[in-house]
Structure formats: structure tokens, C-alpha cells
């Protein structure tokens, strides 16, 4: 029986030739993304952030694709909005002044001013629908003018929330793109090589010994 020992040199990334470095970066360009849920922290942070605006979307209900093509998408499968909390969170914006009366009405009468977020099956946009208590059920007597005003305010708030939900969905998708582009950048790949003290063969192939 023979025992053959194969000896060879290994190099850290900085010791490789320029050609070998280029090869290693190209070959392992998914080292920071393949097999890792690199997006989880971003989605959790997003979910926590929008909660302060009365918007509840579980990070597990966020679906997206980054393919640099028309098949890209990001959508919220479902969610809800606390209308009163939403109005209060943006009360410094003059455009929200008109909704203060609506919020006060629902608070005074212990009403539920909520909206449902509905993901579009074609992943093109989201739709927001009022799902709270009907204002005319909260009090016994409401005159026609107040009825029309409350109805108008709810419809307008529903539209405003709808636009905001679609806006933040687009912004989140762009942010995920930026994170992905960084993780697959030369600088991030090299940083991973060095931080983990990976070694390579002379040609830039990672040493598996």
C-alpha cells in the first residue's frame, strides 16, 4: 500500500495575481447571497418602521424578485392599516389636516377606522379597502351634510393610503436592489474573502482542503 501526499501552495486573496483575483471574484460572485436569506433583516426593519405609521405588514407576507427584467416584482400579500394611527403619524403634514375630524369622530364614538391591504395577483400594485366600522352605525342620528362629509373623507383617506402603500412598496424594492448590488460588488466579495481568511489555489479557485 502506498500513501501519496499531494503538496501544493495556497494563497490568501491578496497574494494572488491580478488574473487570479479577477477569476476568483467572478467565480464566487454569489458568495454573499447564495444560500443566505440576505434580505430578512431589511424586511424586518421595514415592517417595524411602517408599524409606527399604523401599517401592519408581516415581513413574511412580502414577496419579491430581483431579476433585472420585466419579471421583477415586490408585493405585500396582505396587511392592514389603523386609520387613526396613520392620520396621527402624519399630522405634521398639512395634507392630513382634513382627516383630523374623521379621526376625532371615530375616537369619540369608539369606532374602528381600519383598512385592508390587498395584494394584486398580477403583482402590479396593491389595493386598499376600508374595512372598519361604518360611521352611520356609530351614532343614532347623523344629518345629510355630516354623512356626505364622512363618506368623502373615508374615500379620500382610502385613496391616500393606497398611493402611500404602493409608494413604499416601490421604495423597498429599490432598496433591496441596492443591497443586492452591494453584496455582489467586487468590494463586498473581497471583504468576505479577507474576513473569513479564505485561501485559494494559484489560479484563483478556492482551496477546499
Please check the confidence at residue 36 and state whether its pLDDT lies above 80. yes
In a domain, 94, yes or no: yes
User: What are the tens digits of pLDDT across the range 157-196?
Assistant: 999 999 999 999 999 999 999 999 999 999 999 999 999 9
In a domain, 101, yes or no: yes
Verify that 94 and 193 share a domain, yes or no: no
Verify that 126 and 140 share a domain, yes or no: yes
Give residue 2's pLDDT: 60
Give residue 126's pLDDT: 84
Verify that 71 and 148 share a domain, yes or no: yes
pTM for the complete prediction?
0.86
In a domain, 2, yes or no: no
Verify that 18 and 71 share a domain, yes or no: no
Verify that 76 and 47 share a domain, yes or no: yes
Name the pLDDT band for 69 (thresholds 50, 70, 90).
low
Verify that 26 and 59 share a domain, yes or no: no
Higher pLDDT, residue 37 or 69: 37
User: What are the tens digits of pLDDT across the range 114-135?
Assistant: 999 998 756 567 889 999 998 8
In a domain, 46, yes or no: yes
In a domain, 147, yes or no: yes
Verify that 61 and 144 share a domain, yes or no: yes
In a domain, 200, yes or no: yes
Give residue 13's pLDDT: 96
User: What are the tens digits of pLDDT across the range 72-90?
Assistant: 889 899 999 999 999 999 8
Verify that 131 and 162 share a domain, yes or no: yes
Q: How many domains does the chain have?
A: 2
Give residue 137's pLDDT: 84
In a domain, 86, yes or no: yes
Verify that 61 and 104 share a domain, yes or no: yes
Mean pLDDT of the chain: 90
Cell reading at 136 = 352611520
State whether the Cα torsion 94-156-44-111 is positive or negative. Answer: positive
The residue segments making up the domain with residue 195 are 7-32+186-209
Amino acid at each position: 500500500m502506498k500513501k501519496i501526499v499531494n503538496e501544493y501552495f495556497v494563497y490568501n486573496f491578496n497574494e494572488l495575481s491580478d488574473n487570479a483575483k479577477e477569476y476568483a471574484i467572478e467565480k464566487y460572485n454569489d458568495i454573499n447571497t447564495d444560500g443566505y436569506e440576505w434580505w430578512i433583516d431589511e424586511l424586518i426593519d421595514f415592517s417595524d418602521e411602517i408599524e409606527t405609521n399604523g401599517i401592519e405588514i408581516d415581513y413574511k407576507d412580502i414577496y419579491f424578485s430581483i431579476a433585472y427584467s420585466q419579471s421583477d416584482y415586490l408585493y405585500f400579500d396582505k396587511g392592514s392599516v389603523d386609520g387613526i394611527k396613520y392620520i396621527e403619524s402624519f399630522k405634521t403634514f398639512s395634507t392630513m389636516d382634513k382627516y383630523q375630524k374623521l379621526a376625532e369622530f371615530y375616537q369619540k364614538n369608539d369606532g374602528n377606522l381600519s383598512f385592508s391591504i390587498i395584494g394584486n395577483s398580477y403583482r402590479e400594485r396593491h389595493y386598499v379597502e376600508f374595512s372598519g366600522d361604518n360611521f352611520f352605525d356609530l351614532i343614532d342620528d347623523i344629518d345629510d351634510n355630516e354623512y356626505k362629509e364622512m363618506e368623502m373623507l373615508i374615500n379620500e383617506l382610502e385613496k391616500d393610503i393606497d398611493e402611500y402603500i404602493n409608494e413604499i412598496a416601490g421604495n423597498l424594492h429599490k432598496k433591496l436592489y441596492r443591497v443586492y448590488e452591494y453584496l455582489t460588488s467586487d468590494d463586498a466579495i473581497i471583504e468576505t474573502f479577507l474576513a473569513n481568511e479564505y485561501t485559494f489555489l494559484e489560479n484563483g479557485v478556492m482551496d477546499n482542503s
